[in-house]
């Protein structure tokens, strides 16, 4: 048995946390992800199976829903499913078993890295980072946007609390962009 040390997307043994003034940017490594793309003509079937998996109605355009397994809308008839890694390490297989041939499911766990942004003036930071109208985003909203030329997902967990998913291979660049924006704004 190999004895390998697990590292986070930024290369540390512990998730990185940066605080500037009242805003915190925290690396969140413990997430399992799988993407779901409904197959042509089977959109309704895929939606129904996904709703059963997450326990609530399949999220509409620009929304996310579900707990502990949740899904957010990524495009027409496409969603990303997220769940805690510790309890759902084999998430892609679980999603595939639930949805069957109605959709194509792809393992995404190590393709993305997540940063959670919290704090009173988090909107000012996000405004500098991405073209989204973040002040109009409500709890449960999810959107894709370019941050620092990287295709990222921005999820509004609650007012003042956001999650940003970016490509894991560019975690360092994304982290640099976020912390730079925090330092410039706050």
Partner 1 sequence: MIIPHPLLGPRDSSEFVYLGDASLIDRPDWQAEDAAEAFHEYAYLRDNPAGEHRELWYHEGGDRSWLVVTRNTMTHEISKVELARDVARAQGRSK
Binding-site ranges for partner 1 (CB under 8 A): 40, 61-62, 74-76, 131, 143-146, 151
Tokens representing residue 25 in the block: 């940017």
What is the smallest separation between the CB atom of 134 and partner 1, expressed in angstroms?
A: 14
What is the smallest separation between the CB atom of 74 and partner 1, expressed in angstroms?
A: 7
What is the smallest separation between the CB atom of 73 and partner 1, expressed in angstroms?
A: 8
Q: Which is nearer to partner 1, 55 or 151 (CB)?
A: 151
Q: How far is CA 175 from CA 26, 77, 128, 184, 186, in A?
A: 10, 30, 14, 14, 16
What is the smallest separation between the CB atom of 61 and partner 1, expressed in angstroms?
A: 5
Q: Which is nearer to partner 1, 75 or 159 (CB)?
A: 75
Question: Do the Cβ atoms of 98 and 52 come closer than 8 Å?
Answer: yes
User: Which residues, including other chains, have CB under 8 Å from residue 90's CB and lie 6 or more apart?
Assistant: none
Q: Which is nearer to partner 1, 83 or 154 (CB)?
A: 154
Q: Please tell me the chain's helix, strand, coil percentages from 3-state DSSP, rounded to the nearest 5.
A: 30, 40, 30
């Amino acid at each position: 048995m190999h004895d390998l040390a697990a590292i986070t997307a930024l290369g540390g043994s512990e998730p990185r946390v940066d605080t500037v003034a009242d805003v915190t940017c925290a690396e969140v490594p413990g997430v399992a992800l799988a993407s779901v793309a409904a197959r042509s003509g089977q959109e309704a079937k895929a939606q129904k199976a996904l709703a059963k998996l997450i326990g609530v109605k399949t999220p509409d355009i620009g929304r996310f829903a579900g707990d502990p397994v949740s899904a957010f809308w990524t495009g027409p008839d496409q969603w990303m499913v997220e769940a805690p890694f510790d309890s759902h390490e084999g998430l892609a297989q679980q999603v595939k078993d639930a949805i069957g041939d109605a959709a194509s499911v792809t393992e995404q766990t190590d393709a993305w890295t997540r940063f959670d942004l919290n704090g009173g003036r988090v909107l000012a930071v996000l405004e500098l980072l991405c073209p989204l109208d973040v002040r109009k985003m409500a709890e449960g909203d999810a959107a894709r946007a370019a941050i620092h030329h990287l295709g990222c997902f921005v999820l509004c967990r609650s007012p003042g609390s956001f999650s940003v998913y970016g490509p894991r291979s560019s975690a360092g660049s994304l982290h640099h962009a976020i912390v730079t924006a925090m330092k410039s704004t706050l």
